[in-house]
Amino acid sequence: MTLSKDDYKSAIVQIVEQLYSETNKPITGAVLAERLRTSLQASYTDVGYVKLSEPINELVESQQLTRNRRVKHLEVAPPSFEFDLPKTQGCSSVPKGTYVREDAWPVFAMLHDRSIAVFDKQLLKFRLLADDATLRDSQIRVATPSNTDHRNWIKQFAQAEGLSLEPALTEADGVLREFSVWMQSQDTSLQYKWKDFRAVRVADVIRIWSASNGLDATDFLSPVISRYSARTTNTPAIKPDTDIRSAVLRCVADLSLDELDNMMLPLRVVLKHFKPRD
């Protein structure tokens, strides 16, 4: 009998629930993989997956499992289980030097219901593609935070700030969207605290993802210089006004066409200097 992907995922859920009921502890990927092999006489590659983390991430997205994203190895539990996270002593600000790269932020900070996130190893950029898109050899899929992850972040932030949130808000299917709407009605200082808190969590996810893929997280958290940059020499101090404008023009001259195509410019500048496409 040939297993389908849905059959394989159903087996994963059943085995995780069984092991959790026996041990009352999260299940590691190694233990889960061994139990799947002995129970089904099949591995994830037999049903079309490349890694065990692929069906796991699909189950996390559908909230049939929860995953510990604070560790590099695979560790899962039933959705009712809440992984212990370091207690937050207030939400002052993002650590100095922490900056989530512009193309990485929407990938790791947002929910993607109808799209998939990928990292292109040739272009060295993140992309969001249609969920039915065919990936190129240079693209690797990115496991992004789930709705449950965002819910946990919001609960941690609320606890750290002493906020009393309605269950209808924290348990909503689109919890990030609902919380963002609620946050718009709060004072500016709390909004900035939430942005900083969220940026720290996103940076943590990027570090874990980078390590699991053999990449350097500083390339995605550094605002100016990385090993992917064409120029790595020390940049002289920039003086205001004229020097800043000259430095920006020099930076633009070093950009590739692909980087120029993805640069964000103020609308007034675009309307002034670019002709509309036919």
- The pLDDT tens digits of the residues spanning 92-140 come to 334 444 578 878 888 888 877 677 888 988 888 888 888 788 888 888 8
Taking the domains of the chain in order of start, what are their residue ranges? 5-77, 85-227
Q: How confident is the model at residue 16 (pLDDT cuts 50, 70, 90)?
A: very high
The whole-angstrom distance between residue 126's C-alpha and the CA centroid of its chain comes to 11
Would you call 130 exposed, middle or buried from its count of C-beta atoms within 10 A (0-12, 13-18, 19+)?
exposed
d(CA 156, CA 135): 35
Class of domain 5-77: mainly alpha
The DSSP-derived string for 76-128 is: EE-TT-----PPP-----PPTT----TTTHHHHHS--SSEEEEEETTTTEEEE
Supply 184's token pair: 């718009």
Question: To the nearest whole percent, how much of the chain has pLDDT over 90?
Answer: 5
Among candidates 205, 1, 204, which has minimal Cα distance to 117?
Answer: 205
pLDDT digits (tens, 9 = 90+) for 155-210: 999 888 888 888 888 888 788 888 888 888 888 888 888 888 888 888 888 888 88
